[in-house]
Structure 1
Amino acid sequence: MTKKKDSMTQKNEAISTLSPKELLKKLPGREYLQGRDELRMPYAKLIRLLHDAFGSDGWKHEVVDVSSLHKTKNDDGTYEASYSICSSLTIHGVGTQQTVGTGFASKQQTQNEAIQMAMTSARSHALSQVACLFGDLTGNCLHDKETVEYLKTLPKPPKRKFDESMVFHHPST
């Protein structure tokens, strides 16, 4: 256990010596990627990568504008909606980028469900798109076939093990 902590400490110290621009040239590890044939970086893993690489105060994501593209009630009584979201991502020490993401939801029981699902999808898409603009670490490398083939050869990290000590409980319980 001590060796692992020492190794992790050394790894974190090595990362902290890199500038944000140098970090963005690195490739993401398999723990941040999902998929077998086609690798992608899901929203939650992108957030974790940003926290791990730059710290919780080293980056900022903002929704700049939200636009409804369409909202429809279908003949079968279900709803669909489509939204676009313009978002901005700032990585301190590097700069700010801005782009648009789109989201669509169909066959929802209520109009609110369709709107919520479409907006969530658009927000995730916008963050993924704007993150790619910064470099390989934040997803741009996933557009290069040779890099993707290399990343597929990397071993997948072991599945995360959960136990009761990891659960946060309200102090009154």
Structure 2
Amino acid sequence: MPPAGEISQFTAEQIATLQAKLEKRLGPEYISTRPGPGGGPTITYAEGWKIINLANEVFGFNGWCSSITNLTIDFIDAHDTTPPRYSVGTHCITRVTLRDGTYHEDVGYGTAENQKGKATALDKAKKEAVTDALKRTLRSFGNLLGNCLYDKQYTEQIKNIKLPPVSSAVAPDYYLF
């Protein structure tokens, strides 16, 4: 065992390999776009499930975990309609911890507008806040987990790359039904 404060060569190699992976940027297959609020500029983002899959690939399915450290309802508005409709805003602070104890935290926000039921509005806003917080926290680990999406020059370049269409003629062999 190395002296306190030093790391073994094996651990140093693991860290270097992990760092090299995290420095890579997301490929176009991981990036989505949508119109900005009010018809503003296009927003470039990565879907939550894709980032979670990447985190599993990079850290291993058992090499990281996430926890909600705070989930707060910021507002619940009942609209004066018959039947009433609801809008909700929530924020969430999430922590992602790696197997070695390293962790990052960040905040995410979620909204649900004009929903038919209060429970539905709360559910949607909370899920959105948790996913947003998880994605923001994972990006703290590096480009591969979404930090590259904050580089405007990169996102402009990646938008111009056209992906070949996915063929659905053959189902993958990993389906179990």
Q: How high is the TM-score relative to the length of structure 1?
A: 0.77
Distance 1:137 1:104 in 2: 27
What SS class does the counterpart of residue 19 from structure 1 fall into?
helix
CA 1:164 to 1:48, structure 2 compared with 1: closer, same or farther past 3 Å?
closer
Note if contact 1:132-1:138 (Cα within 8 Å) is conserved in structure 2: yes
Shift of 1:130: 1.0
Note if contact 1:21-1:94 (Cα within 8 Å) is conserved in structure 2: no
Q: Residue by residue, what CA displacement relative to the aligned partner does 1:58-96 show, whole Å, maximum 9, x if unpaired?
A: 221111111111112110110111111110112345821
CA 1:117 to 1:137, structure 2 compared with 1: closer, same or farther past 3 Å?
same
Shift of 1:123: 0.7
Aligned length: 154
2:35 counterpart of 1:27: no
Give ranges in structure 2 of 5+ residues lacking alignment.
1-13, 35-41
Distance 2:69 2:86 in 1: 26
* Residue of structure 2 equivalent to 1:65: 70
* Residue of structure 2 equivalent to 1:167: 175
Matches within 5 A, 1:26-105: 26-35=24-33, 38-76=43-81, 77-92=84-99, 95-105=102-112
Give ranges in structure 1 of 5+ residues lacking alignment.
1-15
Identity of aligned residues (%): 25
Matches within 5 A, 1:1-16: none
CA-based RMSD: 2.5
Note if contact 1:30-1:157 (Cα within 8 Å) is conserved in structure 2: no
Shift of 1:120: 0.8
* Residue of structure 1 equivalent to 2:149: 142
Distance 1:160 1:166 in 2: 16
Distance 1:151 1:164 in 2: 27
Distance 1:17 1:90 in 2: 15
Aligned amino acid, residue 126 of structure 1: A
Shift of 1:53: 2.2
CA 1:17 to 1:71, structure 2 compared with 1: closer, same or farther past 3 Å?
closer
Distance 2:94 2:167 in 1: 31
Aligned amino acid, residue 52 of structure 1: E
Distance 2:148 2:160 in 1: 15
Q: How high is the TM-score relative to the length of structure 2?
A: 0.75
CA 1:17 to 1:159, structure 2 compared with 1: closer, same or farther past 3 Å?
farther
Q: Residue by residue, what CA displacement relative to the aligned partner does 1:86-123 show, whole Å, maximum 9, x if unpaired?
A: 10112345821011111111111111000000001101
